[in-house]
């Protein structure tokens, strides 16, 4: 009997997690050699194995944000309604309700089912010790290539993240043509913390995917003000997001109980370009912020 591409993908001998985390040369060959097979397998899985009652659509976004973003795309001068939803909780760090806690279980169920699909996924081995999660962007080998998820991810990056980033941080305009993303899960006694660092991004959007009632202890995100050395430990509730320049130093504090799930999404320019330090904040008409991206992917991945 002829095996389906999904069955073939599930049976491929894969590198160990240790080899992937150590970036052994054979690992890159594994992803390159099987790229077409995994792409076809995700398409088959999405068409036949993904449940039809888990649609990844605009109902996943917080209603107030969805309405404001829709209005801004229709009439860019109404972006003030989007801006009003974001609160500056630390110098250069903004917080808002991004996903709807009531529909967030749909996204989590989809991601959990994808993790059980047995199609090889590359862990985000740029994240020290993280043992769960996946690469999300097509520029990354071993990414979550299900067409349904990719349609949702593309809309999140292009319809939501990019114009919001340009609105809050005008200096990223021109340094935001490329997308990158990964999911992570911090688990107590397994993936405990991440030391202070900056991101190789123009802007970073960090979305908490924990469900209502799915509590955890510790695991705050600490932000460091380079000018004053002030440190602020921030927590965020299910579906809320933090957005900031990638150059803002931050760290994940130790998680002591439960788990914390997140999307970490980046924008940057061609070949990883980011705004220079102390770049001026240009005056950008709203019509330019709320415009479709035209630059193709350059294939560059930070890790």
Contacts (Cβ under 8 Å, ≥6 apart) of 25: none
Residue in 134, 206, 132, 176 with CA at minimum distance from that of residue 293: 176
Task: Look at 186 and 296; give whichever has higher pLDDT.
Answer: 296
Domain boundaries defined on the chain: 5-289
Q: What is the mean pLDDT of residues 86-92?
A: 96
Query: Minimum mean pLDDT among 89-93, 112-116, 223-227: which range?
Result: 223-227
Task: Quote the CA–CA distance of 71 and 289 in Å, as a whole number.
Answer: 13
pLDDT band, residue 119 (cuts 50/70/90): very high
Over 60: is that where the pLDDT of 129 sits?
A: no
Task: Express each pLDDT in 248-289 by its tens digit.
Answer: 998 876 665 677 789 999 999 999 999 998 878 888 999 999
Give 131's pLDDT tier (boundaries 50, 70, 90): low
Residue with more model confidence, 47 or 62: 62
Residue 96 vs residues 84, 105, 207, 274: alpha-carbon distances, Å: 9, 19, 10, 24
Instruction: Give the mean model confidence (pLDDT) for residues 11-32.
Output: 88
pTM for this prediction: 0.94
Please write down the HEC assignment for all residues of the chain.
CCCCHHHHHHHCCCCCHHHHHCCCHHHHHHHHHHHHHHHHHHHHHHHHCCCCCCCCCHHHECHHHHHHHHHHHHCHHHHHHHHCCCEEEECCEEEEECECCCCHHHHHHHHHHHHCCCCCCCCCCCCCCCCCCCECCCCCCCCCCCHHHHHHHHHHHHHHHHHHHHHHCHHHCCCCCEEEEEEEEEECCCCCCEEEECCCCCEEEEEECCCCCCCCEECCEEEECCCCCCEEEECCCCCEEEEEECCCCEEECCEEECEEEEEEEEEECHHHCCCCCCCCCCCCCHHHHCCCCCCCCCCCCCC
* Residue-level pLDDT at 204: 98
pLDDT digits (tens, 9 = 90+) for 201-255: 999 999 999 998 887 655 578 898 878 888 888 888 999 999 999 999 988 766 6
Classify domain 5-289 by CATH number: 2.60.120.620
Write the pLDDT tens digit of every residue in 150-177.
Answer: 999 999 999 999 999 999 999 999 999 9
Average pLDDT score, the chain: 89
């Amino acid at each position: 009997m002829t095996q389906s591409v999904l069955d073939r993908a599930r049976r491929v001998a894969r590198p160990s997690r240790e080899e992937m985390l150590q970036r052994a040369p054979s690992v890159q060959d594994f992803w390159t050699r099987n790229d077409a097979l995994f792409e076809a397998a995700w398409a088959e899985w999405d068409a036949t194995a993904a449940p039809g009652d888990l649609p990844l659509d605009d109902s996943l976004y917080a209603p107030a944000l969805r309405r404001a973003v829709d209005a801004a795309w229709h009439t860019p001068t109404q972006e003030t309604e989007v801006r009003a939803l974001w609160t500056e909780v630390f110098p250069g760090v903004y917080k808002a309700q991004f996903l709807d806690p009531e529909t967030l279980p749909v996204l989590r169920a989809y991601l959990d089912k994808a993790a059980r699909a047995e199609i090889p996924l590359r862990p985000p081995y740029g994240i020290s010790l993280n043992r769960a999660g996946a690469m999300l962007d097509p520029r990354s080998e071993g990414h979550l290539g299900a067409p349904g998820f990719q349609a949702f991810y593309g809309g999140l990056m292009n319809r939501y993240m990019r114009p919001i980033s340009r609105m809050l941080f005008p200096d990223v305009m021109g340094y935001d043509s490329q997308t990158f993303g990964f999911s992570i899960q911090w688990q107590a006694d397994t993936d405990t913390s991440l030391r202070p660092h900056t991101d190789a991004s123009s802007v970073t959007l960090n979305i908490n995917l924990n469900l209502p009632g799915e509590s955890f202890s510790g695991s705050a995100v600490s932000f460091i003000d380079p000018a004053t050395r002030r440190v602020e430990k921030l927590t965020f509730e299910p579906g809320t997001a933090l957005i900031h320049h990638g150059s803002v130093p931050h760290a994940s504090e130790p998680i002591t109980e439960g788990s914390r799930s997140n999307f970490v999404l980046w924008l940057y320019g061609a070949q990883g370009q980011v705004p220079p330090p102390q770049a001026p904040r240009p005056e950008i008409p709203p019509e330019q912020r709320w415009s479709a991206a035209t630059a193709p992917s350059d294939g560059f991945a930070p890790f």
